[in-house]
Amino acid sequence: MSTLLLLPGDGIGPEVIEQVRRVASRLANDLTLEERAFGGTSFDQFGTPLTEEAEAVALASDAVLMGAVGGPKWAGAPRAQRPEAGLLRLRQAMNVYANLRPAICFDALAGASALKPEFVSGLDIMIVRELTGGVYFGQPRGIETLADGQKRGVDTQVYTTSEIERVSRVAFELARGRRNKVTSCEKSNVMETGLLWREVVTALHARDYADVQLEHMLADNAAMQLVKNPLQFDVIVTDNLFGDILSDEAAMLTGGIGLLPSAALGDPGKPGLYEPIHGSAPDIAGQGLANPLAAILSFEMALRWSLGRTDLADKLNAAVKAALEEGARTRDIGGSLTTAQMGDAVLKGL
Ligand code: NAI
Ligand code: MG
């Protein structure tokens, strides 16, 4: 019996998580579903975006599936009470340092990509982004006022050997189950952390993963190559900042934000955190227009990487493909189905 904690969150979060709930109850009868308030919804109820109780339940679960957090209602709250702060705290508490962002182009949607179909047909890239270190967390940081009255903003990029090694290990392990190639991206030409990154990845590769093809690529070149010839990539591993940008770029090769899942993994055996890459979409919240596939595919990743149910993950993936092939489309991908009707289409495939 495994436990999945659902954190629907704000905006369209509860709408898309509701469809996951329907799919999960049809698919897995040995899965216990828990649910807690999160983000702005939790702030309204408990005065904090993440209660200690919800955090404890997350750490005790086998996997956590989040909808989305944030929205204009809470934008003026103090930084520590904002919905996004709850998400950062949860990631830190769960120590999920490897963010898996697949960029997969479903054949039925190759026409929806920003690129011509022949560039993206069959596209299947896995970006592994370091998630708990780097410039988003490095100290010192802040905005200070200088003696001459100007202001100066400071951010610090910091990485240790072990931080680089553990996320690279995730990338090499994933590559072995795929097309056996890892592209490591940094800026070793201009950054010290980039030099260290390349050194650590090279050493780990020689020691434990010599059977995997390893390629080093400067991050700015990777940004170009993703648009020029995306089919060359299998697994990409990179730091927090470059991964943020490259994974959003890769997302646009696939036909839309409403389709893309993600996973954040920590050490083996610890719970993973799964979430669609989209936000709370306040512009369409409450209207039944949200595409639930990104959330449903995030659940698929949870089945695969945390719940030990590859069989069910494959079944769910096939049901999503079948729904798309039969023409099921929400508005964001050119159709008129509601959120619940897209859920129906997936259930039909199960
Ligand atoms: P967003 O991802 O919420 O929306 C961007 C655009 O994509 C909007 O036009 C929206 O309608 C559309 N969209 C997003 N998901 C969709 C879906 N499933 N189906 C159909 N259309 C979809 O990003 P935005 O507007 O920049 O941010 C809105 C709020 O969400 C902000 O408060 C932001 O901080 C928060 N946010 C939260 C994230 C998270 O929970 N991890 C990630 C990104 C943003
Ligand atoms: Mg981003």
Cβ atoms within 10 Å of 192's Cβ, excluding its own: 11
Q: Report all structural domains of the chain as residue ranges with CATH numbers, in order of start.
A: 1-97+259-350 (3.40.718.10), 124-252 (3.40.718.10)
Assess whether 244 carries a catalytic annotation: yes
CA of 274 to the centre of ligand 2 (A): 15
Ligand 2 center to residue 99 CA distance, Å?
12
Catalytic residue among 97, 244, 274, 332: 244
326-342: pLDDT as tens digits: 999 999 999 999 999 99
Among 89, 131, 2, 64, residue whose Cα is nearest residue 272: 64
pLDDT at 112: 72
Cβ < 5 A residues, ion ligand 2: 244, 248
316 Cα–ligand 2 center, Å = 27
- The answer, yes or no, to whether residue 121 has pLDDT greater than 90, is no
Say if residue 200 is exposed, middle or buried (CB neighbours under 10 Å; 0-12, 13-18, 19+).
buried
Tens digits of residue pLDDT in 231-262 = 999 999 999 999 999 999 998 888 788 999 99
Q: What is the pLDDT of residue 89?
A: 92
Annotation: binding site for substrate: 91, 101, 129, 220
pLDDT digits (tens, 9 = 90+) for 281-319: 999 999 999 999 999 999 999 999 999 999 999 999 999
Average pLDDT over residues 168-189: 97
Tens-place pLDDT, residues 179-236? 999 999 999 999 999 999 999 999 999 999 999 999 999 999 999 999 999 999 999 9
- What ipTM goes with this model? 0.97
| pLDDT value of residue 99 | 97
181 tagged catalytic = no
Helix count and strand count (H, E) for the chain: 12, 12
Whole-number CA gyration radius for the chain? 20
Q: How large is the average pLDDT for residues 22-27?
A: 96
Active-site annotation holds for 208: no
Query: Which tokens hold the place of 125?
Result: 């890239």
Using one digit for the tens of pLDDT, what is the confidence trace for 47-86? 999 999 999 999 999 999 999 999 999 988 888 889 999 9
